[in-house]
Each structure stands twice: as structure tokens, then as C-alpha cells.
């Protein structure tokens, strides 16, 4: 009898759950790679995007939607979890972090609530996708594959044709755009939207033209999927989203935190019978601030699924919405073989940029973007001394610590207002918002990557590093000293004190800061020299860099070459970057640098990255032209 009661109760729960799920909306995501809002519905005069323009007339177009990074994989880790990549430790491009057990991709919660969830087909989350995240994730994944056609679904479709490789590769560009009609082609000479930070040359215009044509091909793809919904009789029961993972795949856009890299198109069409508030009326245009980490929580909210407490994103559609965002935040960390730690905070009008490594030039040499014609053209025209002032700025040997832009008056963000007294209050407000975000979200990107990896092995994930006992104090100390590292000579007492901190994450920034000051920090020479014996290899590397800038090359070089030869994976990359940065000071260790190019076993991707950096350094030092893998 008890068994029968249990069976009846279980059947009731299953049937009730299925009935509840059946009342929920279907949701389809149409996502594109590497495009800014170059669509007709966003007012672009050259865009040919009829299907997405029509979707916008039937839905809501967001003018202030942003991603949390200017590059795909870190963004995708945030989109699929609803959490900042810098909180999870997934900020470094081509990393492979571990998630805490209770942090799940949000489709897991949809599946538990009765949804059929598919992904066609890109994941690229910077972590191994946990089992149970998708019913199907493949190139064949589709809502049509669900066994029960009455089951509600969440289906993602990713268009990869407008990725930066579609611009850089002639064969891919031709393949993606092969079905365009003559009327859908662009005339490069007639394009009027070329940004002022590019040289106006035929080569650059060709890339800009290709971007438009790839977007038109993408629009046709989106139109086909919308038609499939209509053919299946599902269009009026399905909420359709269109978005991009970050900005256009060209220099000073992709990988950057300016609007050119993080501002994206976002269109959401909600059928009349599924509208739950006044924010979904057809033809609506809204300037509400939306972050890409808000996407997942909003889907959960629309589906009636409880949003887990650890999720940082905020729903912007559906019932019981929180107050709209006041600020958007973003981060840039390692991009393949180069580190450049940058943070962004912005409101609807003003954009604040904090450069944590201001002694690095904007255009560090990175293998992937250097393959593009526009990047090569930028370098060629720069070498000829013919770049315009806005383009030339990005070849400066250093960056300002802070940047501030009025994006309404200056949409291309080329006039830095950080030093303008008229904007002092705005600067302070956004600076404070940035520092509050760093501390509140536990920014693991301010911990050197080798230390992150070591502690992940100890704790099981990177998320927990700043959430264990003492984590709040460590987060505050790292935030304080990492900021002081670019504050110049006035910060030297803080930096010297940091060199004796009990945590390597803080000592690292103390050494970096002394190195940033250079010769004027001679009073810290003894403390830095002591750091050459630090337990942490990355602290030793930072101390060696500082000593090179203090003129003590002979003390520093053996430490750098030792780490380059014997260090762990990301430690070697740090050492290689310093050897590249110190230029002629590295000449005494050329043999050791050549030795680093020899094949090694059991190396992760940064084995390739070390080779790229060392090859680049040797090319400069020896006047050679080695192939960079």
C-alpha cells in the first residue's frame, strides 16, 4: 500500500511538472560572433539586414547592451553561468578553469524544470561543460529533435561566419558570402562609417566591407531560423533573441573594452500572448543598461525558474524584476600570449577605463590579430609616419592609467577626459564604482595567473580563492596594491610594505609597482632583491623585472632564465614576456632564449605562447624574421 501511494505521488509530481513546463514559453537564441550594432535597425546607413530589422519592429531593440569582455570565450563563460568571468576565474583567454560544484550553466536549471535545451553548437566556456547542461549540443542540435513535441524548449543557434577569421581569411569570407546577390554587396569606396582610429586605405576599407557582407549573410541565416519557427507553427509561442558575443573582429574593437569591443546588438521579440510587462511592446527602443551576464537570469525569469543566489546577472524581462542597472562592468585579461589587465565601468553616457598595466603599449604584438589585414596596414602606415592622430595614439609606448569618455559626444572614444577638471566628479564616481565592483565581485583577475592555478589545485576551483577564510581581507589588499602599482612614486611606501605581505598575490603587485616606477624607486632595491628568493616564481619574475628597471640586470637575468627553463606553465610565459619587454637588457641570455624554443613535453597551450613571445623577442634583438606559430 505504501509503495502504491509513493508511485501515485511520484506520478502526480511528474505530471504536474510536465503540465507546468508546458505552460512556459519557448525561447530561441540567435547569436552571432564578432559584430557590433552594424544593423539597419540601429541606424547604420550601409547595413543590409532585413530579417533582423523586421525582428526589431516586432520586438524590443536595446541600445545599451554590453558584454563583459571584448573577446568570445571569457564572455561565453559569463553568459552561460550568469556570472562575471573575473569572479569565476575564467577571464584568461584559452584558459581551463574548474567550477565549484554548485555553479551550473543555467540551462541545467531549465532542464530540471522540464525544458528541452539544445545548443548548436559552440560552447567555448573556458571550463569543461558539466554533464546535464544540455539535452543536445552539436551541429545537429535543434528544437525539432525533442521527442515530445509539446515540451517547451530553449534552443541556441550560433553563427560563426562573421568571426574575425571571416574578415581575415579571403577563402572563409568568400565561402560565407557566396550566396549574396549583387544588391547585397557593398562598395568599399562608398562606405562612410570607417572609424577615425583606422587609416583610410583600400586595404582597411576592404576589411570594413567584408564585415558588412558577412553580417548580411548572417541576417539571412537568422531569417531562415525564424522561418523554421513559423513553418513549425511555433513563432507565436516563442520568444526570440538576437545578440552578439562582442564587437567587430578588428583592431581596437575585439579584445578591447571600448564600445567598439563590448557594445552589442540585442533584440528580443516576445509574442503578444507571452508579454508579462510593458517592456516588450513591438517597436520599443530602450536605453536600459544590460550586461551579457543578465541573459541567463532573464531566460530563467521568463521561464518561471528560480534564479540561484550565486548568480550575479539581473533579469531585465519577466516578472519581479530588480531595479535597472546603474553601471556596466567589463574586464580584459590575458589574450592568448599577452597580458594586459584593464577594467571598465560605465553608465549610460560615460565610460571609465582603468589600465592596470599602463607601461604596456596598446597594440602589443599578438599572433592572431596580427594575421588580419587591418592590423598589418596599421603597422605599415605607422612605420611610414602617415597615421592620423587618433590612430597613432594606439602606438604610444605607454597608456594613461585612467581614461574617461563621453560616449554621446564622442562615440568613437578618442578624446580622453580623465584629466579635464570639468569631469572630475564623473571620473571619481565611475572610479569608485569600479573599485567597489572589484572588491564586491572578488576580482580574481587581479591575482597573477600562476598563483590562480596553484590555488585552484589546492581548493578545487578559482572561485573559492577569495571566498575562503580571510578572502575578504585578501581581496581588499590585492585591490589596493594593484591600484597603487600604477600610482607612481607617491605609492612607493605602500609597495615596499606589500613586498613583505604574507600572500604572494599581494607581493606580486608590490614588485610590479616598484618596477613601474623604475629608477626613482631605488630606495626599494633591497626589498626587491630579497624578493628574488620568494617562494612564488611569479613574484620572483616581477622582482627581476623591477631590478632590470633599476639597472641591476646581472642580478635579475639568472632568475628570469631559470623560470623560463624550469617554471610551471604560466610562470614560463610571465618570464618570457619580461625578457621581451626589457629589449637590449636581454642580450646576455640569448642562448637561454633559444633553448626555450626547443620542443617540450606535457605543456599546455602556453608552451606555444612562450614560443610566440620568445620568437618575437629574438626577432627584435637579432633582426631576424622567425615564423611565429
**CB crowding 475-489: b at 16 or more within 10 Å, else e:** bebbbbbbbbbbeee
Please name the residue ranges forming H helices in 232-338.
259-262, 295-302
Residues whose CB is less than 8 angstroms from the CB of residue 112 and which lie 6 or more positions away in sequence, other chains included: none
Please name the residue ranges forming H helices in 407-566.
424-440, 449-459, 471-484, 492-498, 504-517, 525-530, 537-549, 553-566
C-beta of residue 335 within 8 angstroms of C-beta of residue 71: yes
- All three cell numbers of 150, joined, read 509539446
C-beta of residue 586 within 8 angstroms of C-beta of residue 553: no
Query: Nearest CA to 86 among 441, 456, 476, 474?
Result: 441
Query: Nearest CA to 50 among 58, 172, 237, 64?
Result: 58
C-beta of residue 34 within 8 angstroms of C-beta of residue 249: yes
C-beta of residue 290 within 8 angstroms of C-beta of residue 65: yes
C-beta of residue 182 within 8 angstroms of C-beta of residue 377: no
CA-to-CA distance for 105 and 126, rounded, in angstroms? 12
Q: Which residue has the cell 565581485?
A: 441
Using only C-alpha atoms, what is the Rg of the chain?
25
Q: H or E segment at 37?
A: none
Query: Nearest CA to 379 among 370, 367, 388?
Result: 370
Distance from the Cα of residue 608 to its chain's centroid: 21
Number of Cβ atoms within 10 Å of the Cβ of 86: 28
Q: Which residue has the cell 524590443?
A: 60
Residue 231 CB-density burial (10 A; 0-12 exposed, 13-18 middle, 19+ buried): exposed
Active-site annotation holder among 72, 75, 117, 548:
72
CA-to-CA distance for 509 and 87, rounded, in angstroms? 19
**Is residue 548 flagged as an active site residue?**
no
CA-to-CA distance for 40 and 626, rounded, in angstroms? 44
- All three cell numbers of 46, joined, read 550601409
CA-to-CA distance for 439 and 462, rounded, in angstroms? 16
Is the four-CA dihedral 65, 256, 333, 350 of positive or negative sign?
negative
DSSP state letter for 127: B
- All three cell numbers of 293, joined, read 551576464
For residue 412, the number of C-alpha atoms closer than 13 Å in the C-beta half-sphere is: 11
Enzyme catalytic residues = 72
Amino acid at each position: 500500500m505504501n509503495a502504491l501511494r509513493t508511485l501515485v505521488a511520484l506520478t502526480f509530481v511528474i505530471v504536474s511538472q510536465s503540465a507546468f513546463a508546458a505552460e512556459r514559453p519557448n525561447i530561441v537564441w540567435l547569436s552571432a560572433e564578432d559584430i557590433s550594432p552594424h544593423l539597419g535597425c540601429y541606424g547604420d546607413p550601409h547595413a543590409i539586414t532585413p530579417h533582423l530589422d523586421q525582428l526589431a519592429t516586432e520586438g524590443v531593440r536595446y541600445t545599451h547592451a554590453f558584454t563583459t569582455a571584448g573577446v568570445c570565450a571569457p564572455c561565453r563563460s559569463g553568459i552561460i553561468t550568469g556570472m562575471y568571468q573575473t569572479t569565476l576565474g575564467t577571464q584568461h583567454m584559452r584558459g581551463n578553469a574548474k567550477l565549484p560544484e554548485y555553479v551550473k550553466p543555467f540551462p541545467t536549471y531549465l532542464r530540471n524544470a522540464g525544458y528541452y535545451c539544445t545548443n548548436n553548437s559552440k560552447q567555448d566556456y573556458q571550463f569543461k561543460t558539466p554533464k546535464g547542461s544540455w539535452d543536445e549540443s552539436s551541429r545537429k542540435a535543434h528544437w525539432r529533435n525533442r521527442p515530445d513535441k509539446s515540451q517547451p524548449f530553449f534552443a541556441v543557434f550560433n553563427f560563426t561566419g562573421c568571426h574575425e577569421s571571416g574578415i581575415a581569411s579571403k577563402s572563409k569570407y568568400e565561402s560565407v558570402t557566396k550566396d549574396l546577390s549583387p544588391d547585397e554587396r557593398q562598395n568599399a569606396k562608398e562606405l562612410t562609417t570607417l572609424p577615425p582610429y583606422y587609416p583610410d586605405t583600400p586595404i582597411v576599407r576592404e576589411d570594413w566591407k567584408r564585415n558588412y557582407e558577412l553580417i548580411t549573410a548572417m541576417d539571412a541565416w537568422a531569417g531562415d531560423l525564424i522561418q523554421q519557427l513559423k513553418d513549425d507553427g511555433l513563432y507565436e509561442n516563442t520568444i526570440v533573441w538576437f545578440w552578439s558575443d562582442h564587437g567587430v573582429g578588428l583592431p581596437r574593437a575585439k579584445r578591447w573594452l571600448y564600445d567598439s569591443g563590448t557594445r552589442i546588438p540585442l533584440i528580443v521579440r516576445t509574442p503578444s500572448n507571452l508579454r508579462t510587462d510593458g517592456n516588450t511592446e513591438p517597436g520599443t527602443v530602450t536605453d536600459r543598461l544590460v550586461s551579457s551576464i543578465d541573459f541567463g537570469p532573464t531566460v530563467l525569469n521568463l521561464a518561471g525558474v528560480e534564479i540561484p543566489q550565486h548568480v550575479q546577472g539581473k533579469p531585465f524581462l519577466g516578472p519581479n524584476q530588480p531595479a535597472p542597472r546603474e553601471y556596466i562592468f567589463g574586464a580584459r585579461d590575458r589574450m592568448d600570449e599577452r597580458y594586459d589587465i584593464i577594467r571598465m565601468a560605465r553608465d549610460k553616457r560615460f565610460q571609465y577605463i582603468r589600465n592596470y598595466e599602463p607601461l604596456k603599449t596598446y597594440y602589443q604584438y599578438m599572433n592572431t590579430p596580427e594575421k588580419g589585414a587591418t592590423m598589418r596596414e596599421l603597422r605599415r602606415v605607422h612605420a611610414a609616419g602617415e597615421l592620423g592622430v587618433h590612430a597613432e595614439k594606439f602606438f604610444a609606448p605607454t597608456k594613461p592609467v585612467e581614461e574617461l569618455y563621453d560616449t554621446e559626444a564622442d562615440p568613437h572614444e578618442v578624446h580622453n577626459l580623465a584629466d579635464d577638471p570639468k569631469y572630475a566628479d564623473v571620473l571619481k564616481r565611475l572610479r569608485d564604482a569600479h573599485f567597489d565592483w572589484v572588491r564586491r565581485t572578488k576580482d580574481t583577475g587581479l591575482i597573477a595567473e600562476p598563483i590562480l592555478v596553484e590555488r585552484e589545485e589546492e581548493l578545487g576551483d578559482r572561485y573559492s580563492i577569495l571566498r575562503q577564510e580571510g578572502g575578504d581581507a585578501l581581496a581588499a589588499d590585492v585591490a589596493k596594491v594593484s591600484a597603487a602599482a600604477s600610482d607612481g612614486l607617491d605609492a612607493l611606501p605602500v609597495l615596499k610594505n606589500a613586498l613583505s605581505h604574507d600572500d604572494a598575490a599581494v607581493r606580486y603587485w608590490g614588485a610590479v609597482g616598484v618596477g613601474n616606477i623604475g629608477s626613482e624607486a631605488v630606495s626599494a632595491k633591497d626589498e626587491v632583491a630579497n624578493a628574488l628568493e620568494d617562494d612564488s616564481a611569479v613574484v620572483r619574475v616581477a622582482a627581476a623585472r623591477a631590478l632590470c628597471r633599476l639597472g641591476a640586470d646581472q642580478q635579475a637575468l639568472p632568475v628570469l632564465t631559470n623560470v623560463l627553463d624550469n617554471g610551471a606553465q604560466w610562470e614560463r610565459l610571465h618570464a618570457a614576456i619580461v625578457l621581451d619587454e626589457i629589449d637590449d637588457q636581454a642580450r646576455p641570455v640569448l642562448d637561454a632564449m633559444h633553448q626555450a624554443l626547443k620542443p617540450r613535453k606535457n605543456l599546455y597551450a602556453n608552451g606555444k605562447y612562450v614560443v610566440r613571445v620568445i620568437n618575437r623577442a629574438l626577432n627584435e634583438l637579432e633582426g631576424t624574421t622567425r615564423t611565429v606559430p
